[in-house]
Amino acid sequence: MNLIKRRSIKRTNPSTIKKVNSSFQLRKRKKEIEYSDGAEGMIKWCDDLVYVPIYPPGSDIAVWTRMGNLPDTPNPKTGKSYRYIWNSQKEVLREALRMG
């Protein structure tokens, strides 16, 4: 009695695999170029991938927020929002990278 069932293996056209791989590589390379584009690339990288702790007014527990989604609600004590502070730091970052 034969316990092993035979199945046919479908072969994928090698040119299809090559197209998919090259498309993936191109998208990956494009993303790297965006992030490595000087100060603007660094700012984009921070906005997309860096999370910072935000302390809502009256709370001792931080909420981790992506820098691209910082709230624009002003703090009652300082009158500045997290987004305003990050936008101010962007100018400092641009100047520092221009000098370097």
pLDDT tens, position by position, 70-95: 999 998 888 999 999 999 999 999 99
Question: In this predicted model, which residue has the larger pLDDT, 73 or 35?
Answer: 73
Taking the CA of residue 94 as centre, how many other CA atoms within 13 Å lie in the half-sphere pointing to its CB?
9
Paired strand residues for 53:
64
Domain spans in the chain, listed from the N-terminal domain onward: 38-99
Q: How far is CA 29 from CA 17, 23, 34, in A?
A: 18, 10, 9
Q: What is the pLDDT of residue 59?
A: 86
